[in-house]
């Protein structure tokens, strides 16, 4: 653990609704970082499962929590960020996980790179049981490629300066699926200074109960809105995809992704955090 005065305060927000099955691992993955300057909020949408019992179990390690009806995930996250005192902020959903050492890495990175506003790290995918299946690292987003609808990042491994998040308008509270994609597009189009790392920082748990799987129609609507607002032109997108793959190859993203998958496949994130 670093001394309190050395690293910036990081605020993490976990939005949750009826995710008791996964919530404890998520909470432990945040407080288990033992990051000295951590501010952690859990914003529950009025769950009727065992979520509140789990949150209460870790009450002393959570700076603020509430269980009340909200207007959805974006609303919950924004309510959390509105309370934030952190210079650096991020959110981790209640079925996803931070990996050990993630916040120390993030804090040290922003401390030593004051010119960077957004950090995007590598991401691991896990199944419903928490077993890692594959890992990805992505190249730095390109405005040209984004304008062609080609963009790749892992929200679970993305952290940013609060002042920049607020400057681009925060999250849209009317978005329920692609609020992260919309945010990244605004980062890119506003020339926010983004940096990437091949270090794995977060885990995306893929399972059939995921909100993002269950309502594909609404996701498609939000995709079209993001493209419209950012003047995305899909003509020539196949060539843009080829350029993206070449960029991944030249930047070593393919090799890193394969190596990280080889090294981490089968590791269980629930066991890492002793659940």
Domain of residue 45 covers 10-272
In a domain, 2, yes or no: no
Q: Is the Cβ–Cβ distance between 93 and 154 less than 8 Å?
A: no
Q: What is the CATH number of the domain that holds 84?
A: 3.90.550.10
- For the stretch 19-71, pLDDT in tens is 999 999 999 999 999 999 999 999 999 999 999 999 999 999 999 999 999 98
> What is the percent of the chain where pLDDT is above 70?
95
In a domain, 1, yes or no: no
* Distance (Å) of CA 219 to CA 114, 156, 168, 232, 247: 35, 19, 22, 17, 27
Please state whether the predicted TM-score (pTM) of the whole model is above 0.85: yes
Specify the DSSP element, H or E, that contains 31.
helix 20-31
Structural domains in the chain (count):
1
**Dihedral of CA 142/155/193/164: which sign?**
positive
Decide the pairing of beta strands 118-126 and 97-98: unpaired
In a domain, 4, yes or no: no
In a domain, 249, yes or no: yes
- For the stretch 63-116, pLDDT in tens is 999 999 998 999 999 999 999 999 999 999 999 999 999 999 999 999 999 999
Q: Among all chains, which residue has been given the structure tokens 């700076």?
A: 63
In a domain, 3, yes or no: no
């Amino acid at each position: 653990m670093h001394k309190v005065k050395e690293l910036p305060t990081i605020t993490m927000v976990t939005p949750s609704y009826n995710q008791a099955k996964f919530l404890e691992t998520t909470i432990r993955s945040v407080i288990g970082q033992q990051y000295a300057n951590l501010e952690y909020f859990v914003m529950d949408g009025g769950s009727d499962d065992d979520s509140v019992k789990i949150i209460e179990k870790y009450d002393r390690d959570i700076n603020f929590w509430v269980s009340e009806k909200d207007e959805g995930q974006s609303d919950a996250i924004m309510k959390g960020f509105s309370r934030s005192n952190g210079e650096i902020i991020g959110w981790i959903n209640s079925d996803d996980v931070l990996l050990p050492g993630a916040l120390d890495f993030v804090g040290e990175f922003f401390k030593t790179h004051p010119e960077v506003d957004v950090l995007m790290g590598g991401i691991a995918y896990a199944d419903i049981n928490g077993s890692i299946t594959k890992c990805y690292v992505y190249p730095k987003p390109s405005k040209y490629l984004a304008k062609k609808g080609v963009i790749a990042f892992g929200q679970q491994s993305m952290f940013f300066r609060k002042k920049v998040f607020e400057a681009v308008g925060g999250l849209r509270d009317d978005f329920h699926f692609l609020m992260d994609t919309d945010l990244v597009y605004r980062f890119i189009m506003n020339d926010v200074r983004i940096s990437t790392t091949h270090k794995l920082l977060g885990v995306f748990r893929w399972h059939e109960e995921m909100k993002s799987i269950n309502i594909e129609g609404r996701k498609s609507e939000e995709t079209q809105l993001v493209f419209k607002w950012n003047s995305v032109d899909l003509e020539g997108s196949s060539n843009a995809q080829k350029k993206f793959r070449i960029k991944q190859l030249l930047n070593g993203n393919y090799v890193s992704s394969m190596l990280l998958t080889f090294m981490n496949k089968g590791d269980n994130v629930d066991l890492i955090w002793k659940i």
